[in-house]
């Protein structure tokens, strides 16, 4: 321990600053490399056993999850700002509050697994490998956007990530084949290795779950498909549940349903203030008691996996990354007009696309 402290101090004194902010870090704590945490037991449906109730979190993983969640949180808040400044147009559905879902999910699967989701997709876009720059520039409709400015908020794609879908429920069958119940049927019939994830944030636009669903036990709605209900505000819970679900599928037992109980701070979209169908008190309660980023940080600090200062440094770095990305997103030029007709067909010889009249033509390249 003394050696570590000496090393830290000498590093600071020798001026080898890995971070430009020259904050003197004289910590007298023990860094653990990992810690064991208890996590909430998942509700099970048609399953003999479920994910474990304890998990080991390494310092490295913890810091990584924190950074990812904080990046997503800040990115979404930046998107809120850019929308109000009218740099972002159309629909914009933010997922702040739900960060543990996408980060936990990613932690439980491999990059080679395939993921598809709905329109509230920015978090998953990031965890699936798109940079904040590419995401924000897509939101602002610039050529540096991940879809070259042609898709916008709901239509971002990456390797092994199929968007981003504007039509509610459409992603179910695309991932498996019919709409949700039809998808369930075929997945079970053909034993497709599919995890059907429901991020249950309690509301479908302005309608609470109770007013839209005869049964709100979504993890049971797969009927003949087993299911798990998971605390979606705890990134470790999501990770363990995802690992369990992924293993279940990989061992050829067929599909499984995973309901993540989570919450969105924003309204349905930027045109929904989000307070006509729920109280501000409710939102505040969740924020103060169950915020996923806060939960992880508190756990790590209390078990000495990291210090408060370290988290502050990460916050500073994240803020810079987001601000740089926002700068790019607001200064990158729009896509060139000549490319309006491109990308209609794949693997096709060039052809002409008609514009607003027969005299306006655009070239279409694959």
**Contact footprint for other proteins (CB under 8 A):** 89-91, 138, 141-143, 145, 147, 149-155, 165-169, 179, 204-207, 211-213, 276-277, 334-335, 337, 339-341, 344, 353-360, 362
What is the C-alpha separation between 102 and 115, in angstroms, rounded?
11
Q: By the 8 A CB rule, do 69 and 100 touch? A: yes
338 closest CA partner among 361, 315, 358, 312: 361
Q: Which residues pair with 196 in a beta bridge?
A: 257
Please state the closest distance from residue 339 (CB atom) to other proteins, in A: 8
For 267-276, b/e burial (b = at least 16 CB within 10 A) is: bbbbeeebee
Q: Confirm if 74 and 95 have CB atoms less than 8 A apart.
A: no
**CA gap 51, 216 in Å, rounded:** 22
| Rounded Cα–Cα distance for residues 148 and 162 (Å) | 16
CB of 141 to other proteins, least distance (A): 3
Residue 109 φ/ψ, nearest 5 degrees: -125, 180
Which residues make beta-bridge pairs with 198? 259
In angstroms, give the least distance from the CB of 198 to other proteins. Answer: 13
Which CB, 173 or 193, lies closer to other proteins?
173
Q: How far is the CB of 188 from other proteins (least distance, A)?
A: 21
Give the integer Cα–Cα distance in Å for 266 and 235. Answer: 20
- Residue 322 sits at the vertex; the CA angle it makes with 321 and 327, to the nearest 5 degrees, is 100
Residues 194, 301: Cα–Cα separation, whole Å: 36
What letter would DSSP give residue 139? H
Question: Taking the complex as a whole, how short is the minimal distance between the CB of residue 357 and other proteins, in angstroms?
Answer: 5
Q: In this structure, are residues 335 and 142 in contact, taking their beta carbons and an 8 Å threshold?
A: yes
Contacts of 125 (CB under 8 A, 6+ apart): 135, 146, 156, 158, 161, 164
- Shortest Å, Cβ 337 to other proteins: 6
Q: Which sign, positive or negative, has the C-alpha torsion 120, 126, 129, 134?
A: positive
The residue length of the chain stands at: 366
| Residues facing 56 on adjacent strands | 36
Report, in Å, the least distance between residue 154 CB and other proteins. Answer: 6
Beta carbon of residue 97, minimum distance to other proteins (angstroms, whole number): 20
Peptide bond into 164 cis (omega under 30): yes
What is the smallest separation between the CB atom of 92 and other proteins, expressed in angstroms?
A: 9
């Amino acid at each position: 321990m003394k050696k570590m402290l000496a090393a830290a101090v000498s590093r600071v004194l020798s001026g080898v600053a890995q971070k430009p902010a020259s904050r003197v870090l004289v910590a007298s704590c023990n860094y653990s490399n990992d810690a064991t945490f208890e996590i909430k037991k998942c509700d099970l449906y048609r399953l003999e056993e479920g994910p474990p109730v304890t998990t080991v979190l390494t310092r490295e993983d913890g810091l990584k999850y924190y950074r990812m969640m904080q990046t997503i949180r800040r990115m979404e808040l930046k998107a809120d700002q850019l929308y109000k400044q009218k740099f972002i147009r159309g629909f914009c559905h933010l997922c702040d509050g739900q960060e543990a879902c996408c980060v936990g999910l990613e932690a439980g699967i491999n990059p080679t697994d395939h993921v598809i989701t709905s329109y509230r997709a920015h978090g998953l876009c990031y965890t699936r490998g798109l940079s904040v720059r590419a995401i924000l520039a897509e939101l602002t409709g610039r050529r540096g956007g991940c879809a070259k400015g042609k898709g916008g908020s709901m239509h971002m794609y990456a390797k092994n990530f199929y968007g981003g879908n504007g039509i509610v429920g459409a992603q179910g069958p695309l991932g498996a084949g019919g709409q949700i119940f039809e998808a369930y049927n075929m997945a079970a019939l053909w034993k497709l290795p599919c995890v059907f994830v429901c991020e249950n944030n309690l509301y479908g636009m302005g309608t609470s779950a109770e007013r839209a669903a005869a049964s709100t036990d979504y993890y049971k709605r797969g009927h003949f498909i087993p299911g798990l209900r998971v605390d979606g505000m705890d990134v470790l819970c999501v990770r363990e549940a995802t690992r369990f679900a992924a293993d279940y599928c990989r061992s050829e037992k067929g599909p499984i349903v995973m309901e993540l109980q989570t919450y969105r701070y924003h309204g349905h979209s930027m045109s929904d203030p989000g307070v006509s169908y729920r109280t501000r008190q409710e939102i505040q309660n969740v924020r103060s008691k169950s915020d996923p980023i806060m939960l992880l940080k508190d756990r790590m600090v209390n078990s000495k996996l990291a210090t408060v200062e370290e988290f502050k440094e990460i916050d500073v770095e994240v803020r810079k990354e987001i601000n740089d990305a926002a700068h790019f997103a607001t200064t990158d030029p729009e896509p060139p007009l000549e490319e309006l007709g491109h990308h209609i067909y794949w693997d096709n010889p060039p052809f002409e696309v008609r514009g607003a009249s027969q005299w306006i033509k655009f070239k279409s390249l694959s």
